Amino acid sequence: MKVPILLPNIFNHPFTYESDINLKIGDYVLVPFGKSKITGVVWDEFEKKKDKKFKVKNVLKKLDVTPLKKTTIKFLNWFAEYNIVPKGMALKLLLLSSNAIEKFQKNTYKTFNSNIKINSIRLSEEQKKSLKKMNISNEKFRVHVLQGTTGSGKTMVYFSALKNIVNNGFQGLILLPEIGLTSEFEKKFIEFFGIMPAVWHSGISKKKKEVIWSGIANGEIKVVIGARSSLFLPFKKLGLIIVDEEHDQSYKQDEGITYNARDMAISRASFENIPINLITAVPSIETFENIQKGKYSTSRLEQRYKNASLPNYEIVNLNETKLEKQSWLSKKIIDKVNFHLDKNDQVLFFLNRRGFSPHVLCKKCFKSYSCPNCSINLVYHKNKNNLLCHYCGFKSLLKRTCIKDGDCEVIFSGPGVERISEEVKKKFPLKKIEIFSSDTMNKKDSGEKLEKIINNEVQILVGTQLISKGFHFPNLNCIVVVDIDLSLHGHDLRGAEKNLQLYHQLSGRAGRTGKPATVYFQTYDNNTKMISDLTDSNPDIFLDRELEIRKKNNLPPFQRFISLILTGDNEEKLEKEAYKFKTSIENNLFGKILGPVSAPIFKLKKKYRIRLLIRGAKTLKLQNSLAAAVSNYKFQPGIKLSVDVDPINFN
């Protein structure tokens, strides 16, 4: 018999093979391809007939793996169409290094013992109401949004919802935006369920991934806590998906195959006909619009744990206080911090900039230290004593020959967390201080550091936005936003939404155990209304206004954007090709094409970048028309096209 086999590569169609074995849709097989043997899956349709004759090869063997469900195959077909990627590359996301893992002995999965022993955790009346709403129609697809003030116990509510699903013999998936720091979350999970969850992210060993992949495929593993990629695991009997911090920008995969894991999770739940819960303190604008339209059901938690109140806000006007030279902390802020430290409160200085200084230049020749591979400044990291490009990883020393005379004399312009930390150490020499950023918290000792912070062995934290992502620091009752002006400006379509979410999440780190807490904003901006709008306890007011602006200007979520980036080594050749490409495709699109323009980061990793933007109605006709137009266009050698449906940023 002839069978269609999809292979994990750049082809958008299955290949036809002969088989003496009785094969069904979803079976994993080993087939010859070129000179190698490759894993494939029996797909749901044959490739479209072509005129040319080709030799049909034989399937080598059927693998001992639970077949892929038809609903998952349909999801992967849709995923490929929506994100304009070949079907074979969608399959590659599901396989493990392009392989399927055959069944292990049953006792291999015993670490993830599925005999759930629930520890009794009492929910408040408000939590019980939310759970009841969440559990309605738990048999079929629906999207429920659990919106809750930070520290209101959202996790316990969705754990309880998941318990019901798993007790009925189904599997569950919890998606988290920052999986590298899940030790705290894992502890909560084990405390509640009494079993080890399967944790899935890029840092997990190959052997462990094989066990988890196989255990998921044959139903031995019940719950996965994972990063974006866990969405593509071959679940045998998936019953519920939970997307924690659904608003988080980290759900967008920006490299390789681009997709938004939150949106794809909703689609996978739809194809599997199972419920999905989105969890957030401040919903994304897309989720908020779907709530307004009545497409998503919603429940709210207003009360924080132990009835703790939300922090107070205080604005420190920097126009009224003169900062000392090379200082970013006003005398008023130092006084406030001392007041909190005297009460044994933990303090956080927040600045969303890694390193010591984001801009270094020579005071003799005025030449900036910039990356030779990218059109951006190098950031000075004093701890490592080097300049670093945060995009391509290029490193350089400070010592540089000046075009004027001798060596360059450096000036550091602007602060990063290391520089603030240095100033904090001078002002509070007797206190234990820790920097909390991706440079310091992705190492093996990050678990120990977290433990010390939780136990109040660290009195002062200096952190980037990483600290806003769901951590529970019981003694943190004072947050100083060093310079809110830095994060409120820019030309980002989602800038206002991002800031609203960031400052709500950030303020939610404070006052979690009932003690009074305050967030202080240092600013030169006299428009204090903007800060009070951002920090209003009801974010819906801000989101309503933002939605009105988007609607008026025909911006997402009211239209679909598709970003196209052309990259190449030769600037002039690239520009000509961009105009030629636009002319070739614009009349065949189900939307309007804007550009070409130089991308804001014009050079990245030694490649020049030109951007085009397509905008149109929210229908697959837009993607299909673009896919057809692109397939008929042949780019010059050395020029590459990247497609990003629903872009989050416009760099």
Question: In sequence order, what DSSP letters do the residues of 456-468 get, joined into one string?
Answer: T---EEEE-GGGG
Looking at the structure, tell me whether residues 323 and 454 fall in a common domain: yes
Task: Please report whether residue 19 resides in a domain.
Answer: yes
Where b means 16+ CB within 10 Å and e means fewer, 45-74 reads eeeeeeeeeeeeeebeebbebbbbbebbbe
Angle CA 176–158–444, to nearest 5: 35
Looking at the structure, tell me whether residues 78 and 167 fall in a common domain: no
Q: What is the pLDDT of residue 487?
A: 58
Looking at the structure, tell me whether residues 344 and 476 fall in a common domain: yes
- 40-91 pLDDT, tens digit per residue, is 999 999 877 665 667 889 999 999 999 999 999 999 999 999 999 999 999 9
Those residues with Cβ within 8 angstroms of residue 172's Cβ, 6 or more apart along the chain or in another chain: 162, 165, 166, 222, 223, 224, 238, 239, 240, 241, 242
Looking at the structure, tell me whether residues 86 and 222 fall in a common domain: no
Task: Please report whether residue 393 resides in a domain.
Answer: no
For the record, the structure tokens of 137 come out as: 């129609």
Task: Please report whether residue 189 resides in a domain.
Answer: yes
Angle CA 524–527–533, to nearest 5: 120
Task: Please report whether residue 598 resides in a domain.
Answer: yes
The 3-class secondary structure across 50-78, one letter per residue, is: CCCCCCCCECCEECCCCCCCHHHHHHHHH
Looking at the structure, tell me whether residues 76 and 118 fall in a common domain: no
Task: Please report whether residue 400 resides in a domain.
Answer: no
User: How many domains, in total, are found in the chain?
Assistant: 4
Looking at the structure, tell me whether residues 280 and 146 fall in a common domain: yes
**How crowded is residue 20: how many other Cβ atoms within 10 Å of its Cβ?**
8
**pLDDT over 70 percentage in the chain:** 94
Residue in 476, 386, 505, 383 with CA at minimum distance from that of residue 435 = 383
* Alpha carbons 246 and 261: distance in angstroms, whole number: 9
Q: Which of 285, 303, 321 is the last residue of a domain?
A: 303
Q: Look at residue 140 and give its three-state secondary structure.
A: coil
Q: What is the CATH number of the domain that holds 623?
A: 3.30.70.600
Looking at the structure, tell me whether residues 120 and 184 fall in a common domain: yes
| Residue range of the domain that includes 177 | 106-303
Q: What is the pLDDT of residue 49?
A: 66
Tokens 């100083």 correspond to 480
Residue in 239, 244, 335 with CA at minimum distance from that of residue 281 = 244
Task: Please report whether residue 380 resides in a domain.
Answer: no
Where b means 16+ CB within 10 Å and e means fewer, 380-402 reads bbbeeebbbbbbeebebebebee
Looking at the structure, tell me whether residues 568 and 527 fall in a common domain: no
Those residues with Cβ within 8 angstroms of residue 367's Cβ, 6 or more apart along the chain or in another chain: 361, 403, 408
Looking at the structure, tell me whether residues 154 and 277 fall in a common domain: yes
For the record, the structure tokens of 582 come out as: 């636009």
Looking at the structure, tell me whether residues 131 and 229 fall in a common domain: yes
* Alpha carbons 289 and 555: distance in angstroms, whole number: 13
Those residues with Cβ within 8 angstroms of residue 538's Cβ, 6 or more apart along the chain or in another chain: none
Task: Please report whether residue 386 resides in a domain.
Answer: no
For the record, the structure tokens of 546 come out as: 């933002």
Q: Look at residue 312 and give its three-state secondary structure.
A: strand
Task: Please report whether residue 496 resides in a domain.
Answer: yes
What is the DSSP code (8-state) at residue 256? S
Looking at the structure, tell me whether residues 273 and 156 fall in a common domain: yes
Ranges of the chain with pLDDT below 50: none
What is the DSSP code (8-state) at residue 251? G
Q: Which of 511, 546, 581 is the last residue of a domain?
A: 546
Instruction: Give the H/E segment covering residue 323.
Output: none
Q: What is the CATH number of the domain that holds 124?
A: 3.40.50.300
Q: Which of 517, 546, 575 is the last residue of a domain?
A: 546
* 8 A C-beta contact, residue 373 and residue 606: yes
Looking at the structure, tell me whether residues 350 and 437 fall in a common domain: yes
Spell out the alpha helix ranges (H) of 136-236.
154-167, 183-193, 206-217
Length of the chain in residues, anyone?
A: 651
Those residues with Cβ within 8 angstroms of residue 544's Cβ, 6 or more apart along the chain or in another chain: none
